[in-house]
Amino acid sequence: MSKIDTLSQQFSQLFGARMHTRLMLNFDTRRKLPTLLLIDDDMVSREVTATVLTMSGYAVHTAEGGAKALELLAEGCTPDVILTDAQMPGLSGPRLIAELRAHSDARIYLISGSNPPDDVAASADGFLLKPFDASALEKLLEGHPLPGAPARPSRIQPTDPVINLETLAQFRGMMSEAAVREIYTAVIADLIKRTQALEAAIAKGDDSEVRRIGHAIKGGCGMAGAIQAARLGALFEELLASTESNHLDNSMALLSDLRAAARNLERMLEAELPA
């Protein structure tokens, strides 16, 4: 038997044990732990990590790259936490994280055998150094609400208008539908870019930059009538000048709301101004 056949057989046994262990886990225990999506182009690293986490009680989905991960999300995979390798061929780094955030509300943590570049680290919610075990993940998740735990109230309510209809009507009265669509497409792209810049500023503790970006979002989205996003921009501008003690947690919660506002704006665009 060749070395490749032997390795394949060993992994088949290991992965079979992982699936058997998942079936044997107590349902109540699994329900209290977050569901994970693990993205890693290295098969050995990916499957060994998935096995360790599954045997610790986590439900784990795996993807061998960024494109496959996005396919899983499109097919209905709804992880609470995404673990992604910091450097992979193809879609990776900040571009992958931006795409993941556009399609999921999951917390995103980098996993790597070395410290990732600053721009990559700033785009994620945290970092785990390989190799890591379940206890390291649990430590990283400490202080973050798990599924079923009381969540911080969102600043966006289901009844909140996404856009000022009067502003939209004014645009439609001045220009073609295609031109109006271009405006809102640009607003969404700018909002996503500024959200990434906010993440970086928060990670660096740059309060003045957070306020500056919040002010820009408030002004730009306000002019376009994007009500939800403009209000969240104003909250970023005001947050660090307030007396609230835990600015980091509040900032991360606002970032999640801002991403939701961008997705709401995208859905509005598709409904009101389909391509």
Structural domains in the chain, CATH included, are 3-141 (3.40.50.2300), 165-272 (1.20.120.160)
Q: If we measure between CA atoms, which residue out of 76, 78, 120, 126 comes closest to residue 95?
A: 120
The mean of the pLDDT values for the chain is 79
pLDDT of residue 11: 47
Task: Give the Cα separation of 21 and 6 in Å (integer).
Answer: 23
Angstrom distance (rounded) from CA 198 to CA 217: 10
Note the pLDDT of residue 166: 92
Under DSSP, the state recorded for 166 is H
A 10 A CB-CB count for 152 gives: 13
Q: What is the pTM of this model?
A: 0.51
CA quadruple 176, 180, 181, 182: dihedral sign: positive
What pLDDT, in 10s, does the model give residues 231-257? 999 988 887 554 444 455 567 778 878
| pLDDT of the residue at 249 | 55
Helix (H) or strand (E) holding 207: helix 207-224
**Each residue of 7-55: pLDDT tens digit?**
444 444 444 444 443 433 443 443 468 899 999 998 888 888 888 888 8
How big is the chain by its Cα radius of gyration, in Å? 21
- Residue 61: pLDDT band (50, 70, 90) is very high
Between 40-49, 68-77, 203-212, 239-248, the lowest mean confidence (pLDDT) is in 239-248
